[in-house]
Structure 1
Amino acid sequence: MKILVTGGAGFLGSRLIQALLQPEALDLLPGHGRIVSLDLAPYPYEDPRVESVIGDIADPACLARLVDAETTVVYHLAAVVSGQAEADFDLGMRVNLDATRVLLEACRQRAKAPILVFASSLAVFGGELPDKVPEDLAPLPQSSYGAQKAMAELLVGDYSRKGYVDGRVCRLPTISVRPGKPNAAASSFASGIIREPLAGLPSNCPVPLETRLWLSSPDTVIANLLHAARLDGQALGLRRTLNLPGISVRVGQMLDSLERLAGLEARARVGDEPDPRIERIVCSWPGDFDIRRPLQLGFGVDRDFDAIVAAHQRFMKTQ
C-alpha cells in the first residue's frame, strides 16, 4: 500500500506525513506501507518509509509514475497560495487547476480508484455572504486563488461521480497558528500576529480588528485530514465537498487572547498598518459556517482561540 502526498515538503504536508507514520494511523498506512512526498523541495525528515520525490506536480509523466497500482490514498495539498496566485495568474492556474486535472487523470488510469483528499479553501466564497454560511451556498470567489480552487473542486466531484477517484474535498479554515516564517498567503498575518509577538518580534495587522476569520489549529486540521480519508465515500453521497470545522473569531479577539496568555507587552508588538490588497482578499472570505454536517460525520473542532494560542506556546517550548 502507498499514500501519495503532493506538497509533502510544506508545512501542512510534512505534518500530515508525520501523523500518517504514527501507530494511530495504521488503518491508513499498515506496517508494510510507504509514503511518497512530491514537492519542489525534499521532505524535511529522514524516515525509511518515506520516499521524497522532487518534481513538478503538473508533469503528467511524473504523476503517471507515482500514482500506481499500489496507491490507495492521494492527499493533494500542493498549491500556489492566495497572494501569490493573485499576483501571478499563470502560475496559479498551472499549479492550482491544471496540475489537479493532471493528477486526476493519473488516478483515472488505475484499475481501482484511489481515495483522493483535496485541500480546498474557504476562499471559494465571496460576494454578499450571510452571517453563517450554510452547507449548500454556491461558491462566488473574489480572488484568482478562490476561483482556481472552486474549479478544481468541480473536477474532483465529476471524477468521483464517474468512479475515477473516491474524492473528498476539504475546504480548510485559515490555519493559525502556523510555526515558521510568514508566506505569501493573504491570510499569513493570522499566524504572524500571534507567532511573532510570542517570539518577541514585531508584527503587523493589515486588516480591521472587527474582521472575522474562520480558524483552525494545525493539529485539528491534520486530524480532520486523516479522518477525511477514513470516511466511507457512500456516506458523503453526491456532495463530496465539506466545509471543515473551525471557530469564528474577530481579529481583535485574537489579540485579546494573545494579551491574556502572554501579556500586554506581547500585544503591544502588533502594529496596525492597513494593507488594502490583503484586506480586499481576506475581507471577501466568510467568517462563520454551519458545520452540523461535518460534525455529524465525525470531524473535530477547536475549543476556542485561547486553546489555540496555548497549544502554540507549548509547541514553542519543544523547539
Structure 2
Amino acid sequence: MHLVDAKGILTTNGGRCGMNIYRGCSHGCIYCDSRSKCYQFTHPFEDIEVKQNAPQLLEKALKSKRRKCMIGTGSMSDPYMHIEEELRLTRRCLEIILQYGFGLAIQTKSDRILRDIDLLDEINRSAKCVVQMTLTTYDDDLCKILEPNVCNTKRRIEVLEEMQKSGIPTVVWITPILPFINDTEENITSILNECVRVGVKGIIDFGMGLTLRDGDREYYYAALDKHFPGMKERYIKQYGNAYELPSPKAGELTEIFRKICKANGILSSPEDCFHFINDLPEKYSQMSLFDL
C-alpha cells in the first residue's frame, strides 16, 4: 500500500454522494471491473492507494452540506480490505457520518464489516443505513477461485443475518454471473433462497452475465487459463471482444430470479433497489424485522 493526501473525498452524481477511501483492492476477484484501464490507475491494482486524510476531508465536506443525504461507499474499492484492520479509516468515516446525521449505503464482500456493526446500528437509528453484499456463487470451492482473498458466500450470508437481527436493511448484488461457470439454476436458486431466509430488502441483477473492458478482460482471461483450461477460447468464440457477455441461460435464470423475488416481496429491479438505497427520508426510524 501507499499513502496519499487526497484533494477531495466526496463525489456527487444526480444528488447522490459517494466516496472511496481506498483505491485498488486485495480481494483478488478474477472478474473485477475496477481493474479496467478506463479508471486510469497509475499504480499496480494490488498496491492499495490509501487516502490517509479521508476522515478530515469527509468531515469538512459534511459540515458544509446543507441537506442530509445517503453517503455511499464500496462501489469501486471495498472499504473492508485487509488493511482496514490496521488503518481503521472506514470506521473513522462512519463515526463522522454518524456525528453529522447522514445516512450510509455501504457495499462489501468482507465479514470485517461486523467489527463496525455498532456504528452501523447507530447510523440506522439516527438516519438510515443500508448494507450491500455481493454474492456470486454458493459453492465454496468455486468461491475460492472466483474471489480468493475474501470470505466465502456462506460467511457473507451470516453477515446478512446479523444485519437482519439488528434491523439494518440489506441489499444483495447477485452479479456477475459468469457464463459456463456459475450460471446454473442450482447456484442461482441456492443464493436466492438464502436471501429470502435472511430477509434481504432487494436483490440487484444486471441481466445474468458479465461485462469485460480492456484491462479487466486480460486479467479475467489469464484466470480462466489457470483455473478453467479451454474456457477462454470458448468465450472468444461465443462473444468475441464484446463488452456485454450474457449467459446463454440468462432468460431462464432471470425468470427464476423474478419469480422468487416476487413471491417473497423482494425488490428486484435495479431502479427500485437504487431508489431504496439512495433515499433518505426526512423522518426515518429504524426498520423492524417485519419490514425487511
Q: TM-score range by the shorter chain?
A: 0.3 to 0.5
Normalised by the length of structure 2, the TM-score is 0.39
Asked which structure has the greater RCO (Cα within 8 Å, sep 6+), the reply is 2
Normalised by the length of structure 1, the TM-score is 0.37
